Amino acid sequence: MGNIKRMNTLGKKSCLALCLLCAAHFVAAQDSGGSDVDLEKLSETVNVLQGAQDPELTLQSVSTVSGKRLEHRPVFMMESTLDGVLPGLYVDMSQGYPTEQRSLSVRGTTPIILVDGIPRSDVNLPASQIESVSVIKDGLGLSMMGMSSGNGVVYIKTKRGQYSSLKIDFTAQLAFNRQIFRPDFLDSYSWASMLNEALVNDGRQPLYSQTDLELYRTGASPYTHPNVDWQDVLLRNTAPTQQYNLNLSGGGKTARYFIDLNVYDQAGFLNQDNSLNSYQTRENFKKYSLRVNTDISITDHTLLKVGLFGQMFRETTPGKAMMGSIYRDMYTIPNNAFPVFNPDGTLGGTPVYADDNLYGQTILSGYNLYPKTDFNLDISLEHHFQGRLKGLYLSGTYSYNSSYRENLERSKTFAVYSYWKDPTNPNAEEVYQQMASAGAQNNKTSYSRLNRMQYAEFALGYDFHIAKHNFKTKALYAYNDYMVSAKNIPLRKNAFSFRAEYNYDRRFLAEFAMSGMSLNTLKPGHQWGAFPSAGIGWNLHKEKWFNVPAINAMKLRATFGLNGSDGTGAYYRSGTGTLSNYYYNYLKYYSYPSNTNAYFGKTPAGNAILTESNMPYVVQWEKRTRWNAGVDMELFNHSLFVTAEYFHNNYSDGLSIPAGKGSNSVIGMTLPYQNIAKSRRSGLELDLTYNKKWNDFSFTASANATLYWTKILANGENQYPEAYMQRVGEPISQVFGYVCDGFFQNQEEIDQYLDITSIPDYKPQPGDLKYRDLNGDHVLDGKDVKGIGTRGPLVDYGIFLGAEWKGLAFSMQWSGRGNVQTTSKTMPFTSNAQGSYGQALVEHLDYWTPENRDASYPRLSIGNSYNERTSTFWLQNASYLRLKNVEISYTLPQKWTKPIHISGLKFFVNGYNLLTICGIKDRDPELLSFTNGTSYGIIPNTKAYNVGINIQF
């Protein structure tokens, strides 16, 4: 019944989209006699919150890129197209899995994403639908978002129809993906030999005999002494991605339309066996997107806009979890643990790995299907008055958004047997023991999201001028109702805001904005906040005395704003947040804890009891005070564009649990988050673009960089015994650890060290690390830990180069980070979810021995927490520069295509993530949590080779 209801709902939405499309096309057909326009040209305005501004008059910190720069990328997530493109915007990823959400960062904080001015969750638009992407970063630009403005805004403007005849644009792409930075694991012989040496170093007996080692080395007994390269067994080297896009646009004076249909199909890397299953077990990702944007001029001064967007995802995986099981076990189970198959064809296993056979997890565990659907409907009406009321306008907007995520579980268990036969005795008996049995397939359905958002906005504006004094004003009321999973009390926001812009002769500029916003989940009396901002500017090139031939335009600007953050940035971004830090936490909650019973009665019996679940706390939004100063210049006959900015952001009333005080045994519960944290983020931002054309040759180059300085000002921590232990005063996310002075090379060094410094509960051996006693108390302990990461600025940067000559075009986009450090390496044998000895990498062969004194790793040992302490020894430079995209294309001359009624025909080939320049050679610098290739189930990132064709009619 639930599926029928969803089909009916989708059917109604599809009918509505079809009706709007037909109506728009019919009206446009009666009125499409106008000339074509260049749809690739960017708007001559800057997208700001609640409107647009003339670039010459803009005071806000806004950076914009055309959607054309983002096209032709073989990536599932929209964010992956934004790497290195805009100053102040960085894309962070923790997984190479296609549907794993990328984290956007605007000057170090997670932004809200607006699509056509409306906040959305899980935005994942095809690049073919995007006209431009803007990043709004300063206090003035963010002010009208009120208490939702604290972390910046990524503003996406979708394409709309233009005054032109019907245009049809079709693009087809085929990409071949390859995983990069796959870990290189030790073979069974090397692994077993190293494990024996580690055990002996620890004073224990070796696990493997010389006979065992020889059998691993020769492979003479593959069922009892296997050497399984699970990556080779489970993964293929390439995986295809197909993408198709069709859009239609055009219209006349009465109506304009833009329709875009996008189909994306990405296959995964897991092998599958179609002879064993009637269904697909390989991971697969499909996305179907439809957008219909219609503009209808009801009168010459009244415009109705209707936007429809629908998107369906269909993700298929094996019955076992990709990251929590398959890749985790692939990267933690040693090659010698068990064979893929036993001699009789059954799946291999051991008592330690009872049901972990990876072939079974991949091929025989059933499948999971994740249907996902998003639907958006936007309607706006705007009227501009004429006559004596000219300059006055009214507008209203309504938006309905729904999103659901379903999990159809069709998993099942599989039979696993351990096998043994004495490999030294050909006549020995074969012994099979069942470790796990096959079971019936599950048939479960669950929902991770049933979300709905309604947004309404009403605006009144008045634009006028008196002589050379020009004014623009706008007052606005906005209402946002957001319900998560159809079970929580809706999140409701009411906001009143006002913005006034002024310029004198386009020379002197000023802007003021103010918003007041409420959040219903806060305590009554504490729900409303006010957020003022202001800015000033000066167009120097407008002055008569300004006569610098090389400078065509020069603007100085400065802004200030008080913004707020109520946690909804991540809430809207993920669509699954609980807002636990803001969600009615001023109320007392009670619950029935598990295993907590009261026993009473003649025959005592356990009775569930209610206990306190939280400590009430009246929270308020976090405050952001932003200062921003910048200069914008156009030079050398408008060929070079330069923007340089300095920003200084203070963060106060940050929600945090006092450092080191999370759990309190006296009160018996965890302390609540409190508005106690303070920090500062400041930096410099530079954006350069050079455009030049010589006859048939045109060239574009742009570069952007953002340098950050951060500092923790308060976090509620107690005074540490040593000043260098304090987190306050250090950079945000500073790495704390020991200072390492290399290895103990011999017993004499150890004796000299221990004569001065004691190490509680540990006796070092040659090949162990030597830590510095920082406070000089002659004891090595936690008081000798300090900040060991970089104190310099963190740098995000990007470079774009593009050239075109007679239809032949070339472009490349680079993305990078500088001055980044990580502690990504760990010892061998440590990462195994089953509690046995974990995997090891080829790089671990470079361990300390008396003959290898300058090694990359300490001496071999098992679970040696002393050597595994975070220290400068493990600190690595994780700075990198990556070629995100490079493309070559050729557009056929129109004299060849016009006779066959084609207005444009382009062939292109491009590559994604083809080259990485990094000091860390064995890790992907974008996946810094990928500690040693043997933990966390990290799925590698990918590179791709893509070919395509674009046809325009």
The confidence band for 153, taking pLDDT boundaries of 50, 70 and 90, is very high
> Which alpha helices (H) appear in 829-946, and where do they start and end?
894-897
pLDDT value of residue 657: 82
Tokens of 620: 């308020």
Distances (CA, A) of 376 to 19, 121, 310, 404, 665: 16, 11, 6, 12, 48
Query: Stretch 840-867: mean pLDDT, rounded?
Result: 94
Q: What is the pLDDT of residue 38?
A: 34
Predicted pLDDT of residue 21 = 42
Look at 482 and 226; give whichever has higher pLDDT. 226
Structure token digits, residue 852: 């290898």
Q: Which residues pair with 786 in a beta bridge?
A: 737
The structure tokens listed for 269 are: 């890397």
Is a pLDDT exceeding 80 seen at residue 574?
no
- Confidence at residue 463, expressed as pLDDT on a 0 to 100 scale: 96
Residue 210 has pLDDT above 80, yes or no: yes
Lowest mean pLDDT among 218-232, 327-341, 447-461, 819-833: 819-833
pLDDT of residue 931: 43
For 205-268, where are the E strands, in sequence order?
239-251, 255-267
Q: Which two tokens stand for residue 836?
A: 């046995």
Q: What's the rounded Cα separation, in Å, for the pair 232 and 359?
A: 11
- The predicted model gives 451-467 an average pLDDT of 94
pLDDT at 612: 79
SS3 537: strand
CB 566 within 8 A of CB 521: no
Please give the mean pLDDT across all residues of the chain. 89
Cβ–Cβ under 8 Å, residues 451 and 404: yes
The pLDDT of residue 493 is above 50: yes
Q: H/E/C letters for each residue in 621-655? A: CEEEEEEEEEEEEEECCCCEEEEEEEEEEEEEEEE
Q: Lowest mean pLDDT: which of 242-256, 257-271, 566-580, 691-705?
A: 566-580
Q: Where are the beta strands (DSSP E) in 326-483?
A: 366-384, 392-411, 416-420, 431-436, 444-466, 469-483
The larger pLDDT score, comparing residue 568 to residue 111, is at 111
Q: For the segment 291-316, what is each residue's pLDDT rounded down to a tens digit?
A: 999 999 999 999 999 999 999 999 99
pLDDT-derived band of residue 830, with 50, 70 and 90 as boundaries? confident
Q: How far apart are alpha carbons 625 and 484 in whole angstroms?
A: 30
Over residues 419-437, the mean pLDDT reads 94
Q: pLDDT > 70: what percent of the chain?
A: 91
Q: Provide the β-strand partners of residue 383.
A: 302, 394
Q: Looking at the chain, how many residues does it have? A: 953
286-290, 412-416, 767-771, 919-923: range with lowest mean pLDDT: 919-923
Out of 604-613, 681-690, 713-722, least confident range? 604-613
Q: pLDDT digits over 232-281, tens only? A: 999 999 999 999 999 999 999 999 999 999 999 999 999 999 999 989 99
Cross-sheet strand order for the sheet of 153-158: 62-66, 130-136, 153-158, 112-115, 118-119
What is the rounded distance in angstroms from the CA atom of residue 92 to the CA atom of residue 106?
Answer: 11
Find the mean pLDDT for residues 586-594: 80
150 within 8 A of 431, measured Cβ to Cβ: no
Q: Can you tell me whether residue 241 is helix, strand or coil?
A: strand
User: Could you tell me the pLDDT band of residue 486, with boundaries at 50, 70 and 90?
Assistant: low
Model confidence at 23: pLDDT above 90:
no
> In terms of pLDDT, which residue wins out, 116 or 932?
116
Q: What is the token pair recorded at 24?
A: 């728009």
* Residue 791: per-residue pLDDT: 65
Question: How does residue 579 score in pLDDT terms, banded at 50, 70 and 90?
Answer: low
pLDDT confidence tier of residue 524, bands split at 50, 70 and 90: very high
- Low-confidence winner among 92-96, 437-441, 456-460, 811-815 (lowest mean pLDDT): 92-96
Q: What is the DSSP string of 752-764?
A: HHHHH-B-TT---
pLDDT of 567:
75
Report, as an integer, the average pLDDT of 467-484: 93
Per-residue pLDDT at 51? 84
Summarised one tens digit per residue, pLDDT across range 109-133 is 888 899 999 988 778 999 999 999 9
**What pLDDT is recorded for position 243?**
97
Q: Does the pLDDT at position 460 exceed 80?
A: yes
pLDDT (mean) for 544-571: 89
In whole angstroms, what is the distance from residue 809 CA to residue 801 CA? 11
Q: How confident is the model at residue 836 (pLDDT cuts 50, 70, 90)?
A: confident
Residue 455: predicted pLDDT: 95
Q: What is the mean pLDDT of residues 814-841?
A: 84
Q: Give the span between the Cα atoms of 61 and 59, in whole angstroms.
A: 7
Query: What share of the chain has pLDDT > 90, as a percent?
Result: 72
- 375 in Cβ contact with 398 (< 8 Å): no
pLDDT of residue 664: 62
- The larger pLDDT score, comparing residue 937 to residue 289, is at 289
pLDDT recorded at residue 811: 97
Q: Write down the pLDDT at residue 13.
A: 42
Bigger pLDDT: 385 vs 45: 385
Residue 615 CA, chain-centre distance (Å), reads 33
- 821, pLDDT greater than 70: yes
